[in-house]
Amino acid sequence: MSLTKFPNGVSSFLSHVNATEKSAAFTATANTNYLITASCTATLPAIAVGNTFTFINGGADGTVQITISPNANDGIAYGGSFADNKDLINTLATAKKGDFVTIASGDQGVYWFTTAAQGTWAKEA
């Protein structure tokens, strides 16, 4: 296995990511990667088996807040907890360029679960 090195850091890496750029509120489309370049909310569709999403912070440190909002009947499992209709947030104060979270529905329709994450993410209170 070979690893690709990105000598210019995160910016170089992000230029190689196959992602749809977003800078305003949107509804996520299944099995898509998103590069978020301005603070916004991504609304998830109702859970469907096999769907995966990755949300990547593409803004300068401390400038982009990503809010991932599930359907009112769904939850996002993160940090050992989940509750219906609670957002997952890459908060502005802790946001770093390159922070990301990948969520998937797996083989069930109860809640979205986090399969990978980098950075500080918080659940809506």
Indicate the number of domains in the chain: 1
In a domain, 56, yes or no: yes
DSSP-assigned letters across all residues of 56-104: EE-SPTTS--EEEE--TT-BEEBTTB--BT--EEE-TTT--TT-EEEEE
pLDDT, one tens digit per residue, over 17-73 is 688 999 999 999 989 999 999 999 999 999 988 899 999 999 999 999 999 999 888
- 113 domain residue, yes or no: yes
pLDDT at 78 over 80: yes
In a domain, 97, yes or no: yes
Residue 114 located in a structural domain: yes
Confidence of residue 14 (pLDDT cuts 50, 70, 90): low
CATH code of 74's domain: 2.60.120
